């Protein structure tokens, strides 16, 4: 989240509260609690990795993108994370929905003054 501009344009206030709860301090607090308690009382930790972050790790450590993904996943699991998800499929769905909206707006461009331009982004922050 350090790259986020905090513009609040991508989320509602409810989602903003959830994002605020997801921080490094909270992650390490739960990891430490999980180490101290019975496994039946563990809080389940899930991490999502955006596809934009993997080339950074690959370049930083001179790895292929696939090796960087595998090592990052292994690192997180060794920390105590239960699930690691790749958000590539979510990005794909986002692109498909943006494409669908653009086609609809393009078809209405002569009937609606504000049909175009259409702005879209995929913020990894």
Sorted by where each begins, the domain ranges of the chain are 28-35+42-108
Chain-wide mean pLDDT for the chain? 81
Distance between CA 9 and CA 61 in Å, rounded? 33
Please state the rounded mean pLDDT for residues 70-87: 92
Model confidence over 13-56: pLDDT tens digits?
A: 565 566 666 677 888 888 888 988 887 888 888 888 887 788 88
The answer to whether the CB of 17 falls within 8 A of the CB of 26 is no
The pLDDT score that the predictor gives to residue 102 is 92
What global pTM score does this model have? 0.61
Classify the C-alpha dihedral 96-98-103-104 as positive or negative: positive
The model's confidence at residue 64, banded by pLDDT at 50, 70 and 90, is very high
């Amino acid at each position: 989240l350090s790259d986020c501009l905090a513009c609040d344009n991508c989320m509602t206030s409810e989602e903003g509260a959830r994002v605020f709860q997801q921080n490094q301090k909270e992650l390490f607090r739960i990891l430490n609690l999980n180490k101290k308690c019975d496994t039946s009382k563990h809080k389940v930790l899930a991490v999502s990795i955006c596809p934009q972050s993997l080339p950074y790790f690959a370049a930083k450590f001179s790895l292929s993108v696939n090796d960087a993904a595998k090592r990052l996943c292994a690192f997180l699991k060794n920390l105590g994370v239960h699930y690691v998800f790749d958000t590539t499929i979510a990005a794909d769905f986002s692109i498909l929905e943006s494409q669908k909206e653009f086609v609809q707006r393009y078809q209405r461009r002569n009937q609606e003054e504000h049909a175009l331009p259409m702005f879209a982004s995929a913020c990894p922050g």
